[in-house]
Chain A
Amino acid sequence: MSLSRSPSPQRGGGWSSPGLNTPYNTSGRSTPMRVNANTNGGAHISWASAQAKSAEVKGYPSFATRNQGFFSRHMRRISASLPRFDGGRNARYAEKEKLQRGRWGGGAGRWSGIMGRIGRMMWRMRLRFAVLFGFFFLVVAFYVTPLHRIYRRASFLGGGSKFVIIQAANLGGGVMEWKGPREWAIERDSLKNKRKYAKKWGYELEIVDMSTKKRYAHEWRESWEKVDTIRNAMRKYPDAEWFWWLDLNTFIMEPSYSLQSHIFNNLAKTTYRDINAYNPLNITHPLTSPYLDAETRSPIGDGLASSINIIVPQDCSGFNLGSFFVRRSAWTDRLLDIWWDPVFYEQKHMEWEHKEQDALEHLYASQAWVRPHVAFIEQRMINSFPPGACGEKGEDPRIHYKEQDRDFVVNMAGCEWGRDCWGEMYNYRQLSNKLNRNRWERVKDWVSESVKAAKEKRKENEEKKGEEKQDERKGS
């Protein structure tokens, strides 16, 4: 083949030499790449155009033997910006352009490019994403669904099943009197609060019916069932270790505190053994009788947290059994056994107004074996009082509830004598809800409160204006 001139590249690609081009190309275009656009109806079929056409049909080159995997194929298609794909699409739907179908195609090219890049990135970081996803899944599983209860209960994880809350209910009901609507409401609120708490942390909740029954042949032991109840609970939950007695008129203000983190993880620090730290009963401590052994005469027993078998708070007048802990042990069996004794009862039942509480004080004061295993706890750790109990004003920092310190439990002790149990319960419930709002609730409340405040201000202003007007009228 003789060339009239030397082959030289033309602007826009291709060769100016006719010999290197298809001789029958009628379009005058010289770029072989663009041939496919013109060969649709063209009579002259070149190899290149046939190849391009087949590629259009199959979507991928038929000779490709590598990258057969779905994902890599797919990835390539997404990740490259794919002019071929686009062109094919446009060409095929060219007539339907009026229906505006093809329009998104152009946009989709760029969009899919971005998506492709994100996808590629995700694929590269798949391990990290898997970890993230796993973490997210665990959060959902353990904190959003009830699964966390199972995990908090398990003895080797949360240890919640080691704790039993014994909740007295139906106080003085039964044969003595009918319960009024207020009593029902108190009971409902109190039980709901305890149920929620026990569920949250995986504790056992044992609700006991303390209604007065003629269970015993004579009046002996009437309303002394606290001890029997604890023993029954110990029998019922053989795996539990600590039993928390709660009176009906108590309210858990901070359900976010777990017993473990609040008290038991650090038992030696959260409790004190030497009653002289706070001794409203003026019990002589430690014992000094020379016939006792050194451990019994020590003010703190053996000083180890493992020897603590009962944890009692003290209010202004002595031990308070509205909220206290006992641990399952041989020692506790003995204490629960000797706690009620007919000879003690016969001599003291007129004097011991608070029944078990006074009996325990007596045992602590006069039986030496008791002391090395009793620990006391600051009253406000588990048994804060409202104003009205132990002082009208409620300002004793040892005893009375303080909102800013976020005390754990409120015990409305003695509210049935001349105070309003239901009112107190209601107020504390509202306060607890308010203190434990989450962020979203805080925002909502803030908005509604500020709206309310604005309204009130406006009202006030209007009233003032009205008054001023009236004054003016009067003045005129």
Chain B
Amino acid sequence: MHFAFPPRKTSHPPPYALRQTRSPLLRRSRLQLIALVALGCIAGLYMLSKLFGSSSITEAIPAGTSPVVIVTTLDKNKGDAFNEKIKQNRKAYAARHGYATFFPHTSDYPLGDSPHSWSKVPSMRHAMALHPHSTHFLYLSPLALIMNPSLPLDSHILSPSRLENLMIVDQPVVPPDSVIKTFSHLKGDRIDMVLTQDKEGLGSEIFILRRGEWAKYLLDAWFDPLYRSYNFQRAEGHALEHIVQWHGTILAKLALVPQRIMNSYVKDEKGNNPGGVYQEGDFVAHFYGCDKAPRHCEEEMAPYFAKVAS
């Protein structure tokens, strides 16, 4: 409303100026400043915590850490000369790509009465304890030779996109007709174990593990004394098939790749595995079963050693 005249002053002016009932402790402008500073502080702390938080999650990897460790368990009974040749084969490959190697003896681990082949399980755990910052661990059977040292593991198998291409999905874990099949929707970067399959089952002689809590879980569960005492026909091989088929948390981290990617058999004794036979240029030649008479490993390997050396 508008009045013609300004309102009349009161005829009883207060004898003294009225005090404001609540005198503000801080002036408005000051308050604004404080609010701004506080906001800035909170934002700064948040960013700092983010920085340090992330740094604590992705641990600092010391310089010079080899990304891959190659593990082979050696049997002292095979003789030093033979073992030395095997070692040289791995070392040459590792030197070429900056990988590390680890050669424990099968007798280094407390296996009790169970077969020596079980030693591959604790040896992988051991390698992980010794190389706490390496990301991948390749277990290579002492009966296998690296035939194509020019192939780096990363681009040959391990990079997620390559792995997604290689992965055999929806494949019965134990051929030919296991009801348990590999998952069909796995992402390459979620894979913690890479291995191959021959016509009889999973190839537990050559496999790749990624370091992490899952790898510890797999190795420790695999090495359970109740599995070792169970007398699986093929010892740790069947134990692995067992846990993969019965425990979804293991199957979910597993990728099957074609056999010739890293597990080509030199001889197809029963003649039922033609897809897995070694051809020129394959990464690995596996003399699977050569330690059983009448086969003879050193004789079979001799020409291959010559081939690699050339």
Interface residues of A (CB under 8 A from B): 66, 289-294, 296, 330-331, 333-334, 337-338, 341-344, 347-348, 362, 366-370
The interface residues of chain A lying within 8 Å CB-to-CB of B3 are none
Chain B residues whose CB sits within 8 angstroms of the CB of A334 once the complex forms: 214, 217, 249
The 10 closest A-B CB pairs, nearest first, are A291-B126, A293-B129, A369-B220, A369-B216, A367-B220, A337-B249, A291-B122, A369-B217, A368-B220, A334-B249
Contact of A347 among B128, B214, B229 (CB under 8 A): B229
> Which of chain A's residues have a CB closer than 8 A to the CB of B109?
291
Q: Can you report 7 A-B residue pairs in the complex whose CB atoms are below 8 A from each other?
A: A291-B125, A330-B214, A343-B230, A344-B224, A347-B229, A369-B219, A370-B220
Structural contact, B227 and A292, CB atoms closer than 8 A: no
In the complex, A289 Cα to B219 Cα: how many Å? 14
Closest to A296 in B: B216
Q: For B249, give its contact among A290, A333, A341, A366 (CB under 8 Å).
A: A333
Q: Which residue of chain A has the shortest Cβ distance to B12 in the bound complex? A: A66
Contacts A291-B126, A334-B249 given; does A343 touch B221 at CB 8 Å: no
Partner of A369, one of B132, B213, B229, B250: B213
Q: Kindly report which residue of chain B lies nearest to residue A336, judged by CB atoms.
A: B249
- Interface of chain B: mostly helix, strand, loop or mixed: helix
Name the A residues within 8 Å of B122 (CB-CB): 289, 291
The smallest C-beta distance from B99 to any residue of chain A, in angstroms, reads 20
Contact between chains at B226 and A344 (CB < 8 Å): yes
Interface presence of B185 (CB below 8 A): no
- Size of the B side of the interface (Cβ < 8 Å), in residues, is 32
Asked if B242 is an interface residue, CB under 8 A from chain A, the answer is yes
Q: What are the residues of chain B within 8 A of A296 when measuring CB–CB?
A: 216
Residues of B within 8 A of A362 (CB): 226
Given contacts A333-B249, A338-B247, A369-B220, contact A293 B226 (CB under 8 A): no
Determine whether the beta carbon of B249 is less than 8 Å from that of A293. Answer: no
> Contacting B213 at CB < 8 Å: which of A330, A366, A367?
A330
Contact with A along B240-267 (1 / 0, CB 8 A): 0011001111100000000000000000
B196-237 interface code vs A (CB 8 A; 1 in, 0 out): 000000000000000001101101110111110110000000
Across the interface, B224 reaches (CB within 8 A) one of A291, A293, A367, namely A367
Query: Is the CB–CB distance between B216 and A342 below 8 Å?
Result: no
Across the interface, A343 reaches (CB within 8 A) one of B213, B242, B250, namely B242
A343 touches B247 (CB 8 A): no
Which residues of A lie under 8 Å from residue B220 when comparing CB positions?
367-370
9 extra interface residue pairs, beta carbon distance < 8 Å, beyond A289-B110, A291-B123 = A291-B108, A293-B129, A293-B216, A338-B217, A343-B227, A344-B226, A367-B224, A368-B125, A369-B221
**Cα distance, A290 to B127, chains bound together (Å):** 11
Cβ-defined contact, B125 with A292, below 8 A: yes
- Minimum CB distance partner of B128 in chain A: A293
Least Cβ–Cβ distance between A173 and chain B, in angstroms: 29
**In the bound complex, CA of A296 to CA of B219 (Å):** 13
In the assembled complex, the CB of A32 is this many whole angstroms from the nearest CB of chain B, namely: 24
Chain B, range 117-147, C-beta contacts under 8 Å to A? 122-123, 125-126, 128-129, 132
Chain A hits for B227, CB < 8 A: 343
Contact A341 B132 (CB under 8 A): no
A337 to B242, CA, bound (A): 13
